[in-house]
A and B are shown apart, each in its own frame.
Chain A
Amino acid sequence: MSTFLGMPSAPPRGTGNLRGTEPFPAAARDELGNTQLRRNVGKATRTIRDKRLAVTGELPDWEQLRSAGAAIKRDVLARLPELLEQFEQAVTARGGTVHWARDAAEANAIVTRLVRATGSDEVLKVKSMATQEIGLNEHLASSGIHAVETDLAELIVQLGDDRPSHILVPAIHRNRAEIREIFLRTMPDVDPELDDDPRHLAEAARRFLRERFMRAEVAISGANFGIAETGTTSVVESEGNGRMCLTMPRTLITVMGLEKLLPSFADLEVFLQLLPRSSTGERMNPYTSMWTGVTDGDGPQEFHLVLLDNGRTAALADQVGREALHCIRCSACLNVCPVYERTGGHAYGSTYPGPIGAVLSPQLAGMHTGPDDPNAALPYASSLCGACFDACPVKIDIPSLLVELRHQHVEQAGVSAESAAMKAASAVMSSAPRFSTAQRAARLGRLLGRGGRIRALPPPASGWTDARDLPVPPKRTFRQWWDSDEARADLDRARREGKGFEA
């Protein structure tokens, strides 16, 4: 038991790349117009969905693993203070140095200072959501340090001067022909005969990075797991670029969100089953590295671990929303989401796209910075179909979290045009004469429609049609039909024949 002194104050929200520049509906409209992107994302998500179902289906205890994973994550959050201190102690005891970062700016400053101290102006990077969240590459560049992304998809994004669009496969929006074009344009010494065979494209990336790996002085990674009990850190990957970065340089800097902890080493037995099967749809990813501090004669001799808050404690203070911190970044929810499949990741604006991003971004960075906070639109970027909940390996109830965020948004927004409209609708619908009058008036709506659809209503109802088309009102309402001679004749006939009828 810890003693608590004074009134607890709500922790501040995070900063960095957790908010887009425009709300989801506007951003999605642009993305939906890009047929190449829709084709690429559609094909990729279909492929991964089938693979995931095959490998999760073959484990008879998949549901028990999910339940254990969810409970372990809940336990981590419940015991976070003691586990963080235990983790720090274990890493330090094994020769590592632990740094704490309150927000993105502080984490960037710590990493920049550590890189400067090595005298190097180039760092290699392992794919990491946390460093993308804090905008580390841009910060390093402004300090004259060049960060080279070594994951193939991140490299494609970096060379194409592009933004990632998927947690696991950041270049999911690019097809092989586009990737070939980027490589030909940006890689020095690339074979001009390079074709778009994925094997040849991978070979080109291997050549491009090989020499850099051999002379690397500093690398920066994220962490999939940090084990409180032992101080062990782990990175799960496929290509071997992670192993290169974690093994070859003299100095390794790992940036880890403080929710990434697991209590004990044995808990890996759950997560090493949940993560690969959910993310790449493989029984196991090709490579997983685990290291504990510094090992004499093997790998980096200097190890820094940066523990990142950046809004995680703000999410933790939300009894319902804290469940988003269970996320292990597998991206299964993206691949099953009918919204993500059509819009791709860019429309979400934040580092974290898809269903989990729609929950995590408002949780970490807030959604009430102003009347037009783009994050406030994210909880509505969902049909609440529930596919994400079923796919989540740690059973995050994303639909319920979205509804809770919608509730918080409405509460915060106060008397809006929409809530005024709902009140008015309630008054109209509770009185038959008023309702008839309103329905007659609604027929005027036919004037606004084209092809059976209304695409834009005037304010205040424009809030509804910003994100949706509305069917035009019918020529006559059910009540008008019910009152007609035609309906009476139909009903009489049906009654005589003793059966239902088709109107």
Chain B
Amino acid sequence: MNARETVLGRVRDALAIAPPPQVDIPREYRRGREMPAGERLEVLVDRLQDYRAQVHRTTGEDTAATVAAALDGIARVGIPPGLDRSWLAGYSGEVVVDSPDVPAPRLDELGAVLTGSAVTCAETGTVFLDGSPDQGRRALTLVPDVHVCVVDLSTVVAGVPEAVARLDPVRPTTLISGPSATSDIELDRVEGVHGPRTLHVVLRTDR
């Protein structure tokens, strides 16, 4: 018998020796919650600031100016191929469009990365990236030390169940809650280990 058959056989044996009960799953926790836009905004900003992310409230019209301010002093920014280029209208540095052929060490030469986002959870301050054309491959938002992420208030949902419901399981997905951090030294949280040490969230309140 190969390992697969052996292990599956053991599982069946174990359940025959000690038959399990039928299980009903009580789903009495909060699901499908609606939260007014103003509250979603306030809760999200509170959570992001708690993680020491930089929050910039702006509007669709002022996106370019806000992005330019967040990228101030950065010579080279990477973007995914599907990003709205108008967001960079106020930025004067070099723009590098990413593709799967760009080797990883080249990403390390970028001063920052600018992306959109898929969905955001207010209650936990979590931005979800799913590799869509405006978000790019996972390495792009990981290697540069600064991540500027545009979040539209219309994509912000109340809690974790509401956010998970909007995901496509097949897409490679990354949940980001503030900058890279560690609590490994005496359980004190310290921002900045291997991921971007600075996270800017550009929050467009009218989109």
* Distance in Å: Cβ of A317 to nearest Cβ of chain B: 4
Are A202 and B11 closer than 8 Å at their CB atoms? no
Chain A 301-337, CB-CB to B under 8 Å as 1, else 0, gives 0000001010001101111001000000000000000
Contact of B104 among A248, A285, A316 (CB under 8 A): A248
B178: chain A residues at CB < 8 Å are 286
* Distance in Å: Cβ of B127 to nearest Cβ of chain A: 10
* Residue B175 lies at the interface, judged by CB distance under 8 Å to chain A: yes
**Stretch in B60-68, B71-79, B83-91, B158-166 with 4+ CB within 8 Å of A:** B158-166
- Tell me the chain A residues, 282-298 only, with Cβ under 8 Å from chain B: 282-292, 295-298
Number of interface residues of A (CB under 8 A): 105
* Distance in Å: Cβ of B10 to nearest Cβ of chain A: 4
> Given the interface contacts A247-B138, A272-B160, A313-B14, does A214 sit within 8 Å of B104 by beta carbon?
yes
B22: chain A residues at CB < 8 Å are 78
Residue of B nearest to A296 (CB): B100
- Tell me the chain B residues, 1-29 only, with Cβ under 8 Å from chain A: 2-4, 6-8, 10-18, 20-29
* Residue A230 lies at the interface, judged by CB distance under 8 Å to chain B: yes
Q: Kindly state the separation between the CA atoms of A13 and B17 in the bound complex, as whole angstroms.
A: 15
Contact of B25 among A72, A230, A285, A287 (CB under 8 A): A72
Residue of A nearest to B188 (CB): A198
Are A78 and B15 closer than 8 Å at their CB atoms? yes
Q: Is the interface of B mostly helix, strand, loop or mixed?
A: loop
**Stretch in B34-42, B148-156, B190-198 with 4+ CB within 8 Å of A:** B190-198
Q: Kindly state the separation between the CA atoms of A175 and B184 in the bound complex, as whole angstroms.
A: 10
Are B185 and A198 closer than 8 Å at their CB atoms? yes
Are A288 and B174 closer than 8 Å at their CB atoms? yes
B97: chain A residues at CB < 8 Å are none
Are B186 and A286 closer than 8 Å at their CB atoms? no
Number of interface residues of B (CB under 8 A): 78
B179: chain A residues at CB < 8 Å are 286
A247: chain B residues at CB < 8 Å are 138-139, 142
Which of B20, B29, B124, B164 counts the most chain A CB atoms within 10 A? B29
Residue of A nearest to B12 (CB): A81
* Residue A100 lies at the interface, judged by CB distance under 8 Å to chain B: yes
A48: chain B residues at CB < 8 Å are 187
B143: chain A residues at CB < 8 Å are 214
Are B28 and A314 closer than 8 Å at their CB atoms? no
Are B10 and A230 closer than 8 Å at their CB atoms? no
A85: chain B residues at CB < 8 Å are 8
* Distance in Å: Cβ of B196 to nearest Cβ of chain A: 8
Contact of B195 among A68, A201, A214, A243 (CB under 8 A): A243
> Given the interface contacts A80-B11, A240-B194, does A284 sit within 8 Å of B172 by beta carbon?
no
Are A269 and B175 closer than 8 Å at their CB atoms? no
* Residue A219 lies at the interface, judged by CB distance under 8 Å to chain B: no
A151: chain B residues at CB < 8 Å are 184
Q: Kindly state the separation between the CA atoms of A436 and B10 in the bound complex, as whole angstroms.
A: 56
* Residue A232 lies at the interface, judged by CB distance under 8 Å to chain B: yes
Q: Kindly state the separation between the CA atoms of A273 and B27 in the bound complex, as whole angstroms.
A: 14
* Residue A146 lies at the interface, judged by CB distance under 8 Å to chain B: no
Residue of A nearest to B21 (CB): A78
Q: Kindly state the separation between the CA atoms of A210 and B107 in the bound complex, as whole angstroms.
A: 12
Q: Kindly state the separation between the CA atoms of A356 and B111 in the bound complex, as whole angstroms.
A: 45
A238: chain B residues at CB < 8 Å are 180-183, 193
Are A61 and B187 closer than 8 Å at their CB atoms? no
Are A284 and B177 closer than 8 Å at their CB atoms? yes
Q: Kindly state the separation between the CA atoms of A299 and B125 in the bound complex, as whole angstroms.
A: 25
> Given the interface contacts A101-B3, A176-B186, A179-B185, does A8 sit within 8 Å of B138 by beta carbon?
no
B31: chain A residues at CB < 8 Å are 269
> Given the interface contacts A61-B29, A71-B24, A287-B180, does A239 sit within 8 Å of B194 by beta carbon?
yes
Contact of A81 among B8, B124, B131 (CB under 8 A): B8
Contact of A298 among B8, B13, B105, B172 (CB under 8 A): B172
Are A298 and B100 closer than 8 Å at their CB atoms? yes
Are B177 and A283 closer than 8 Å at their CB atoms? yes
* Distance in Å: Cβ of A51 to nearest Cβ of chain B: 8
**Stretch in A39-47, A403-411, A449-457 with 4+ CB within 8 Å of B:** A39-47
9 example contacts (A-B, Cβ-Cβ < 8 A) are as follows A80-B11, A85-B8, A172-B187, A240-B142, A247-B139, A248-B104, A290-B173, A292-B170, A297-B137
- Top 8 closest A-B pairs, CB basis? A240-B195, A297-B100, A240-B194, A78-B20, A317-B14, A239-B193, A313-B10, A269-B161
